[in-house]
């Protein structure tokens, strides 16, 4: 197969119906999350490039640059968190619950890392979303008891935005002034 034949196949399988795509991009939340995703990829690549230069080209490891890139990654992470209406602690708790309660419940193993049960992991994350919303409540409060391997119970609270707030922010107010 030559590259032209391959490109023809690409163009035959491309989604050319741009209206639904443009519709998705009309939401402020989606644009902010796309900005965060692009930034996370860019900054991750810059971090990785620094490691590549150190390992494969024997350049000095530029730790100042690595720390700068980590700061940039945190900036885009905070943008994504705000766009999703969730805080960093909530993400940490959910990630820990997934890893300790499902994937590595008996500690890290290569087998568990390679043969992940994504459906079971998602069930753990969905079980954390028992939402209790009172009438007129501004914040959604989510409570879930998690039992850590040491037997300690932990109760936590998540505060994502209500659906009506997800497409409106102070940035929209600035646009309307």
User: Which residues are registered as beta bridge partners of 157?
Assistant: 143
Residues in the chain: 177
| Residue 100: per-residue pLDDT | 87
Nearest CA to 96 out of 42, 148, 133, 55 is that of 148
| Residue 102: per-residue pLDDT | 87
Angle, helices 88-98 vs 118-127, to 10°: value is: 130
Please report the DSSP string for 95-120 in residue order: HHHHIIIIITTT---HHHHHS--HHH
Residue-wise pLDDT for 123-172, tens only, equals 888 877 543 323 332 333 333 444 444 444 444 443 343 343 443 444 44
Q: Is this model's pTM higher than 0.85 or not?
A: no
Average pLDDT over residues 44-49: 98
Residue-wise pLDDT for 82-139, tens only, equals 999 999 988 998 888 889 888 998 899 999 999 999 999 998 888 775 433 233 323 3
**CA 53 to CA 84: how far, in whole Å?**
35
Q: How far is CA 125 from the centre of its chain?
A: 13
């Amino acid at each position: 197969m030559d590259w032209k034949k391959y490109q023809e196949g690409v163009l035959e399988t491309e989604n050319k119906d741009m209206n639904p795509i443009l519709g998705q991009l009309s939401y402020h939340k989606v644009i902010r999350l796309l900005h965060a995703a692009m930034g996370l990829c860019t900054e991750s690549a810059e971090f990785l490039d620094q490691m590549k230069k150190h390992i494969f080209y024997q350049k000095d490891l530029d730790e100042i640059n690595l720390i700068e890139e980590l700061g940039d990654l945190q900036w885009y992470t905070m943008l994504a968190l705000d766009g999703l209406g969730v805080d960093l602690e909530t993400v940490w708790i959910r990630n820990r619950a997934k890893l300790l309660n499902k994937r590595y419940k008996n500690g890290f193993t290569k087998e568990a890392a390679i043969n992940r049960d994504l459906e079971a992991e998602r069930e753990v994350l969905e079980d954390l979303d028992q939402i209790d919303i009172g009438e007129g409540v501004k914040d959604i409060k989510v409570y879930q008891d998690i039992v850590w391997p040491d037997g300690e119970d932990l109760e936590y609270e998540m505060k994502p935005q209500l659906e009506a707030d997800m497409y409106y922010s102070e940035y929209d107010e600035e646009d309307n002034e």
